[in-house]
Amino acid sequence: MDTDKPNTNENEQSNETTPTYQWRPQDADREFIKMTTRKRVRNAKVPENAIFKPAKPTPTINDLGQKKVAVYARVSTKSTNQVSSIENQTKYYTEKIAKTPNWEMQDIYKDEGISGTSIKRRKDFLRMIADAENKKMDLILCASVSRFARDVSDCIEQVRKLKTVNPSHPVGVYFETEDIYTLDPNVSERLEMHAMFSAWESRNKSRRMILSYDQRICTGQYPVLDLLGYRHTEDGDLIIQPEEAKTVRFIFLAYIAGYSYKTIAEILTNKKRTTLTGRTEWNVAMVKNIMYNERRWGDLDARKTVCIDYKERIVVKNKDLRDAAYIPNHHEGIVTPAIAKAAHLLASSGKTVNSVPNTSIITSGSLKGFISISPAWKGVDDASLQLVSRNVYTDEEYEELEFISKISSGEEHSKILSFNLSNYEVPYGAFFLNQKTPSLTVTYKTIKFNRAAHSRLGNCNFIELLYHPILKMIAIKETIQENPYALKWINEDGTIKSSLNSKALSKSIYERIGWKQDFNFKFRGITRIRGNAKILIFYLDEPQIIPSKKTKQSTANEKTNNTEQYIAYKENTENESSTNVPETTTVSKTITNNDSFGISLSLSKKRDWIVHSISEQDIQTKGVFVDNPLIGALPSKYEINEELEKLIASM
């Protein structure tokens, strides 16, 4: 049967898959090399005249020979315990070196209150490395790897540098806690491992501190530290230090009285007033730092900054990076919040405001409700100005003024009905503007006067600017330099000062009337002379609208289907019609919300009584000082100067 026959195909297949050795010519070369190598090794002999030079023993800390020994000690904080630690290290190693016969003290290097995460700020460490490069030592003693460096790369790099910078004079470091001597070649792995442990511990410590701050913020345990004028208790309370508080209070009062940062620093230096750290030399930055620290007026801003890189000690403002808290009235302030706010607003007002101006308002006469204004003073806004002006009127008077103001803006119509020209309108004053007409131009940053305005007031050196926020009127009159609201109107060279910095006032006016920032507004001045007194009055509801250069450039290439281009006078809102003014000309026509030709005759008569009834006494009337609602109650200038004299005398 076929099944009894041998399976020749399987045998053939099996033979075909059996590997066979293929001889190659290069194999002969390899075998020859192996044979000659074995022969050379078997026949090798040490020459009888050879001199054997054994290697030095592995270096140890107990090697004989005279050594100059240095000590490096570091603590990361200046706490009492840490100071004790660094002194104990110093004493311990001084005695250890003295007891070792072949050791001689070279120097002790100490970095106190310095983190080990970076060597950049460790002055004594860097001095030690430089001395080692100059062969001033043979050995450095250090308590542990973590005291030497908490960064792996720094540790390994500096150890390598000490060993190799002078190959003939290597300097070893002995870490006593880990029993590691860096000149021993067998300890490299151990050193790297301990350096990594130190770096890990440093990172872990940073995380623990962050978590601790998070927990304290959430539980109301706000961290506080000592600062000039205060000491803190274990319970987190800040207690005023009377003698130091004199320095702090002097800084605030002197600044709002008109002293510059530089002058304040010079006075404190001359008086040898000490800082928290004992310094007696003051500079501008130190004065600013005290004036802007919220703890000086009784608040607490917990966690103002955060460290985003613990190695490089990069600290940034905490803008929602970590949990924080602001606690008003946390403790007793050295100055009031009103004094602090006044100082800060003065600092942001620019050089044109030399001291904090008192809020002054005229309470009687034709100019009742007018407020004396320093245009650049940022301690005002539209709401505060209206409140100050409102407070000098009775409810009935205020309602009447509000009605007049709304008619002016087009929000109301005159309710006077008669056959006596009641439906007639008086043209806007801006229609009569020319070079000989006194004018005022309000921009978002400045107030400008033309030459005619200067001429009408007799080219006086100083003016006082008055503003009525309810009636939307500005008045200027001549004044003396001693007036706290005096504005210089003539330059040192005798030329007229055509422009005044008015960022704060302009912002209030734009907000009050609803002007767009991209446009300037020009007004005709009405002159009134009463005896020896003169005054110029400007109605802010009769503008000539002037597109700014920026506006004209941005719209120059725009195309419309109309022959003229238009701009909105105010932002459109519900129930308001879109009111436009041509852009194609440099000076636009005057318009109002209802696009009328002028103002009603009845309204004109109602408000003209202010101008026509002005007397010489009205012009010469001084305002009454009131509290600034934006700031609060401040001491008078007399009280401030009197206290400053006492502080200087007692310092």
Q: Using H for helix, E for strand and C for coil, what is the string for 128-169?
A: HHHHHHCCCCCEEEECCHHHHCCCHHHHHHHHHHHHHCCCCC
Q: Across residues 113-122, what is the average pLDDT? A: 74
Does pLDDT of 371 surpass 90? Answer: yes
Q: What is the pLDDT of residue 76?
A: 75
**Confidence label for 442 from pLDDT (cuts 50, 70 and 90):** very high
- In this structure, the strands spanning 103-112 and 67-75 are parallel
Region 302-311: mean pLDDT is: 74
What does the mean pLDDT of the chain come to? 81
How far is the C-alpha of 399 from the C-alpha of 393, rounded, in Å? 9
CA 369/CA 470 separation, integer angstroms: 8
pLDDT band for position 592 (cuts 50, 70, 90): very low
Higher pLDDT, 385 or 550: 385
Lowest mean pLDDT among 75-84, 346-355, 431-440, 477-486: 75-84
Look at 89-98, 145-154, 282-291 and tell me which has the smallest mean pLDDT. 145-154
What's the confidence (pLDDT) of residue 78?
A: 58
Task: Tell me the one-letter amino acid at 345.
Answer: L
DSSP at 89? H
Tokens of 5: 């026959």
- pLDDT exceeds 90 at position 61: no
Contact 217/302 with Cβ under 8 angstroms?
Answer: yes
Domains, the chain, in order of start with CATH, read: 67-202 (3.40.50.1390), 230-348 (3.90.1750.20), 425-547+588-626 (no CATH)
What is the average pLDDT across 532-548?
Answer: 87
Q: Which contiguous run of DSSP H or E holds residue 439?
A: strand 439-442
* pLDDT above 80 (res 205): no
Kindly report, residue by residue over 236-258, the tens digit of the pLDDT.
889 999 999 999 999 999 999 99
- Write down the pLDDT at residue 513: 86
Least confident of 110-114, 186-190, 309-313, 348-352: 309-313
pLDDT value of residue 569: 41
The pLDDT value given to residue 571: 41
The tens digit of pLDDT for each residue in 554-569 reads: 555 444 444 433 334 4
CA 39/CA 34 separation, integer angstroms: 9
pLDDT at 79: 53
The greatest distance separating any two alpha carbons of the chain, rounded to the nearest whole angstrom, comes to 153
- For the chain, percent of residues with pLDDT exceeding 90: 44
Task: Using the predicted structure, report yes or no on whether residue 546 has a pLDDT greater than 80.
Answer: yes
Write the pLDDT tens digit of every residue in 320-334.
787 888 889 999 999
The token pair that represents 237 in the structure block: 């309370």
Pick the more confident residue, 434 or 389. Answer: 389
Lowest mean pLDDT among 143-157, 182-196, 335-349, 418-432: 418-432
How far is Cα 406 from Cα 410, in angstroms, rounded to an integer?
A: 6
- Per-residue pLDDT for 305 more than 90? no
As a whole number, mean pLDDT of residues 162-189 equals 91
